[in-house]
Structure 1
Amino acid sequence: MRASQALLLCSSLAVLLQPSSCQPYLRLRPSPSDNLPIKDIIEHPDPEYDPKEQDLDDRTLRKKLGSNFDPAFMSVAAPAQVNLSSPDPLHRVKVPGPLPNELKKLELGETPYGARLKMGKKARRKFLQWLWAYTYCPVLYTWKDLGIRFWPRYIKEGNCFSEKSCSFPEGMYCKPVKSVTKTFLRWYCQGWSRQKYCTWIPVQYPVISECKCSC
């Protein structure tokens, strides 16, 4: 592979694996954000497409990834005391912070059709706190194993809690509204059998960073 071809390949934000390489089409930047988190990637089962031991030198790969290595969202080894197959994210839900401005400005002393309601300051504060806790949509983070063809192999992936409605009355659910991009190295092969050329290329992997109660 010529240097110019390799540079073009490395600068891509999405990776297209040609059918001749016997690997599936891979797109790491789904759009719109409703498609997040990224679904599990179907890899070719042939171990010939796996990186060898000499390709997994930690020092070399850290240097190649450079400042993109983010230990808060990626790990070379399986994170300790984490069940990757059946995570229980609920124990990581944080209590909502201060009330958002749109709730603080909510007028509770009058109905939409003009009727006046009496509500003390304490009752109003308690109701708004309950409403904020009920409609709050935290990002639930769990570690995911991307497989040996990614480096680092483990990513802390965000999800929106969607097992029940976040609105009152019911009907709205927590959905992703923002994401951040993390750069990983992807083992990429071209060609056939012994004539194939394999190398590590940078790919961008979006991670949900904010969820919101919406339709």
Structure 2
Amino acid sequence: PGPCPESRDPPSGTADPAAHLLRGRPSAPARPYSLSRSPEDYRYSPKPRHLKPGRLRRLLGSAFDRFWMATEEPRRLNGSLLEDDLESLSRDLAEGAGRYRRKLWRELEGLELPTLLPPGSGSPPELPGTLARRLRQWLVERAACRLTSAWVDLGPVFWPRWVRHTACDDGPPGCSWPPGMTCRPAQLTHIKLLAWHCWIPYPVVAACKCSCR
């Protein structure tokens, strides 16, 4: 890889203006996963002689991160696409998720919960406290906002060409009670990739939080 090619206008009919960001030095940071994966959107493409893994690995150096990137398509032994428990594979993601859960617990501990059992119901005295803890635990789990991921082939312009794309798990019925709040990105981090002919920061979603739309 060498200097970035000279900037030029995007081709007519290009739906996403981010598709031509790598034709010159971007004037604004790229949005997560907004760079085009189509080789037709770039002026140059590497030749096979340019794609020697050893040389590219040396160029990327310590920025190579096995959690976020792969030189070949990650697959299980049975051929299915690899799906991972993200927090078990990344200390940074696990620590971030742990901090968010502890924050939720602190907020819920200061929340006055409604009386779960009527007075004189004959229940053991410790039962209301147990039910309150379980209710708090349920609320924390509902609002935990976990990350999901999928491996995406960025094409021959990028190396490593396989990158883990993460997203906020936003399945129904939402992350709050009463419903109305959803899981949204709360933090971005940048991984470093090689691009022909550019070295670029590549933003990826690193954490989510429960918030209003």
Helix, strand or coil at the partner of 2:66: coil
Q: 1:171 aligned to 2:180?
A: yes
Q: How does 1:58-137 map to 2 (within 5 A)?
A: 58-81=53-76, 92=85, 99=102, 100-108=105-113, 120-137=128-145
Closer/same/farther in 2, CA of residues 184 and 157 from structure 1, 3 Å limit: same
Q: How many residues align?
A: 178
Shift of 1:42: 5.2
Question: What amino acid maps onto 2:29 in structure 1?
Answer: R
Instruction: Report the residue type matching 2:209 in the other structure.
Output: K
| 2:135 partner SS | helix
> What's the CA shift for 1:160?
0.4
Matched, 1:205 2:202: yes
Deviation at 1:17, TM superposition (A): 4.1
Structure 2 unaligned runs (5+)? 89-96, 120-126
Contact 1:138 1:160 in 2 (8 A): yes
> Does the CA-based 8 Å contact 1:16-1:25 persist in structure 2?
no
Match of 1:195 in 2: none
Following the alignment from structure 1 to structure 2, what is the Cα–Cα distance between the partners of residues 209 and 177? 8
Structure 1 stretches lacking a partner, 5+ long: 10-14, 111-116, 189-200
CA distance in 2, matches of 1:47, 1:59: 24
Larger mean CA deviation between 41-50 and 137-146 belongs to 41-50
RMSD between superposed Cα atoms in Å:
3.7
Identity %: 30
**Length-normalised TM-score, structure 2:** 0.69
- Displacement after TM superposition at 1:108 (Å): 1.8
Decide which moves more: 161-170 or 178-187: 161-170
Q: Deviations over 1:17-51 (max 9, x none)?
A: 423899942269346xxxx4x24615343898321
TM-score (norm 1): 0.68
